[in-house]
Amino acid sequence: MTWIAACLCVLVLGMYQIIIGQTLNPDSERKVLGCNVTGEWHSELGSQLQLSAAGPEVRGVYRTAVESARGAAGPSREARVVGVISDGPQPTIAFSVLWAKGSCTTWVGQCFILPGGVQVLKTLWMLRSAAESSMDNWDNTRLGEDQFICARGVESL
Ligand SMILES: *[C@@H]1O[C@H](CO)[C@@H](O)[C@H](O)[C@H]1NC(C)=O
């Protein structure tokens, strides 16, 4: 009887250590639950965003599905992305694009993991078009919201 009790006690202590070890170890949590922005993303408008994160920096390519004026984003509608990203399981991110005809866009937001494991980038953006003069400054900045879904789909949890 005492032998069985001793076995149970060892078993319970072992499980306790496993559970505590997992919840207290930030590295294992990041690996299991963290956003990984490296890969391909699609906006609700059909724009494609390829990102690659290296430490606190992100690089990539943006292929826009929309333009403020015909041709503003160039014939390929593609441009380079440069940005920054925080660490942690749901990092904040800011990235910018310079378009072929001299306008530029900056997005700022955060990567979230939705219930079910889908990764989403929730962002606000500002698009600046070049004004002819300071008199035209007032109406050359647009503001909006973009949500990007990771094309990789559901993360393995
Ligand atoms: C993030 O995803 C990319 C592309 O799937 C993969 O190559 C990379 O190893 C991942 N990074 C981490 C830290 O899981």
- Domain containing 88: what range? 35-150
pLDDT at 41 over 70: yes
Whether 17 and 39 share a structural domain? no
Whether 106 and 120 share a structural domain? yes
This prediction has a pTM of: 0.78
Contacts of 157 (CB under 8 A, 6+ apart): 32, 33, 117
Token digits of residue 33: 């639950």
Pocket-forming residues, ligand 1, beta carbon under 6 Å: 36, 38-39
Whether 28 and 62 share a structural domain? no
Alpha-carbon span 20 to 139, nearest angstrom: 55
Yes or no: say if 111 and 121 are a contact pair by the CB < 8 Å rule. yes
Asked whether residue 71 is assigned to any structural domain, the reply reads yes
| Residue nearest to ligand 1 atom 13, measured at CA | 36
Whether 29 and 93 share a structural domain? no
Whether 116 and 82 share a structural domain? yes
- Over pLDDT 90: what percentage of the chain? 73
Please give the pLDDT value at position 4.
63
Asked whether residue 94 is assigned to any structural domain, the reply reads yes
Whether 132 and 81 share a structural domain? yes
Whether 42 and 20 share a structural domain? no
Yes or no: say if 40 and 22 are a contact pair by the CB < 8 Å rule. no
Angstrom CA distances, 116 to 25, 40, 83, 113, 155, stand at: 22, 19, 28, 8, 8
Whether 13 and 3 share a structural domain? yes
Which conformational region is residue 82 in: left (phi greater than 0), alpha (psi within -120 to 50 degrees), or beta? beta
Residue-wise pLDDT tens digits, 96-133: 999 999 999 999 999 999 998 999 999 999 999 999 99
Question: Which atom of ligand 1 has the smallest separation from the CA of 36?
Answer: 1
